[in-house]
Amino acid sequence: MKIKSVSKEELVNMSYDDVAYIVLKEKGKKIKTLDLFNAVSENMGLDPQKYEDKIGDFFTLLATEKRFIQLEKGYWDLRENHQVKIEIPESDDDMEEVYPEEEIEDENEDFFDEIKDVTDDETDDDLKDLVIIDDENIDEGEI
């Protein structure tokens, strides 16, 4: 959406962050806070008195709105322009470069060897002193 395609009535009724989003999207690059607010104010037709009163609110709005990201030296841009790209290997050959098969097999063998060594001591009965109490015994004072 281009800022010129939006009517003045619509711009006046839009929120600051929506207008800022359109301005940044249209520019396609980062903009300083003051320059961005000037563009938003100009497009929304704010008078100079409102301009001075709203600059702090505008900065807070940008900082809390997830669509925007603050960059170095007072610049702002759209978060969508700064996404981290993660490459996932498409074939098993690529995975072998990351995780050599020999290392994986060795780790698994050690793990399963340790499990085989663990035995349950059947002669040790941890529950031999366990007493089950029901509600009737508590009420009658048998305990």
Please give the mean pLDDT across all residues of the chain. 77
Query: CB 95: neighbour CB atoms within 10 A?
Result: 14
Indicate the pairing of strand 75-78 with strand 68-70: antiparallel
The answer to whether 143 and 133 have CB atoms below 8 angstroms apart is yes
> Which single residue is written with the structure tokens 């004072």?
141
Global confidence as pTM: 0.54
- Which residue type is seen at 48? P
Specify the higher pLDDT residue, 135 or 57: 57
Indicate the pairing of strand 31-32 with strand 75-78: antiparallel
The Cα–Cα gap between 74 and 32 comes to: 5
Tell me: the pLDDT tens digits for 53-86? 888 888 899 999 999 999 999 899 999 988 777 7
The Cα–Cα gap between 107 and 105 comes to: 5
Domains of the chain (ranges, CATH numbers) = 3-82 (1.10.10.1250)
The Cα–Cα gap between 37 and 49 comes to: 14
Q: What is the pLDDT of residue 126?
A: 73
